[in-house]
A and B are shown apart, each in its own frame.
Chain A
Amino acid sequence: DTEVTQTPKHLVMGMTNKKSLKCEQHMGHRAMYWYKQKAKKPPELMFVYSYEKLSINESVPSRFSPECPNSSLLNLHLHALQPEDSALYLCASSPRPGQGAYEQYFGPGTRLTVT
């Protein structure tokens, strides 16, 4: 089973709202990732968790707050977003961080619209 699930599929939120995106995998992977993808662009890395610890933050604004409660779950908490944050948010996982040629498996994404 190479499935990464994400909820919700679609989200519309106002600039003053607080919402969360959820990602889950049951493949025993120990690295998890958040990406942001704008239309007609490749995914851009936001955060990397290695063994449930934040290992990379690509200078993402603090209105995005990641959380990894356990090895299977990854959340992205959203607060006071801007319209330009509207995008497809993709979660991915891979077996091990660091060494080794491990492909990342992606979820279907959450399409976020900020009004």
Chain B
Amino acid sequence: AQKVTQAQTEISVVEKEDVTLDCVYETRDTTYYLFWYKQPPSGELVFLIRRNSFDEQNEISGRYSWNFQKSTSSFNFTITASQVVDSAVYFCALRGVIQGAQKLVFGQGTRLTINP
């Protein structure tokens, strides 16, 4: 079975603080793909990053960084110097192939609030 756990339901920080969103996954696949999506209040899910299981390099994109650790089955997301516009629900997801089609297994999401 494939499962994604985001233990932090809600996080609230003051602007300019750094914040880390945790994601732990379970899969028996040897090749798998992990994703992070952002859902602002407008509702649209915005793709942030994809990570392949065979590439354990961490990635940085501006104020965003991702730490992928296969040994602990974690794919954590850090926002540095947070801004009010970062307020959103963030979903971690694991890709599985069922009946020949790609299916995303989502975590429950973490609601991040950045206060001015």
A binding-site residues for B, Cβ under 8 Å: 2, 31, 40-43, 45, 48, 50, 55-56, 88, 90, 92, 94, 97-99, 101-109, 111
Q: Please determine whether B108 and A104 come into contact, CB atoms closer than 8 angstroms.
A: no
Query: For the complex, what is the distance from the CA of A40 to the CA of B81, rounded to whole Å?
Result: 26
Q: Please determine whether A31 and B101 come into contact, CB atoms closer than 8 angstroms.
A: yes
Number of residue pairs across A and B with beta carbons under 8 Å? 67
Known pairs A56-B98, A106-B44, A108-B44; A48 contacts B103 (CB<8 A): yes
Q: Please determine whether B103 and A101 come into contact, CB atoms closer than 8 angstroms.
A: no
Known pairs A50-B100, A106-B45, A108-B43; A42 contacts B33 (CB<8 A): no
Q: Which of B33, B43, B52, B103 neighbours the largest number of chain A CB atoms within 10 Å of its CB?
A: B43
Q: For the side of the interface on B, what is the size category?
A: 20 to 34
In the complex, the 9 A-B pairs of residues with the closest C-beta atoms, listed nearest first: A42-B106, A106-B45, A108-B44, A109-B43, A101-B33, A48-B101, A55-B101, A97-B101, A98-B100
Q: Which residues of A contact B104 (CB under 8 A)?
A: 43, 45, 104
Query: For the complex, what is the distance from the CA of A107 to the CA of B42, rounded to whole Å?
Result: 11
Query: For the complex, what is the distance from the CA of A94 to the CA of B35, rounded to whole Å?
Result: 13
Contact with A along B7-51 (1 / 0, CB 8 A): 000000000000000000000000001010100001111110010
Q: Which residues of B contact A56 (CB under 8 A)?
A: 98-99, 101, 103
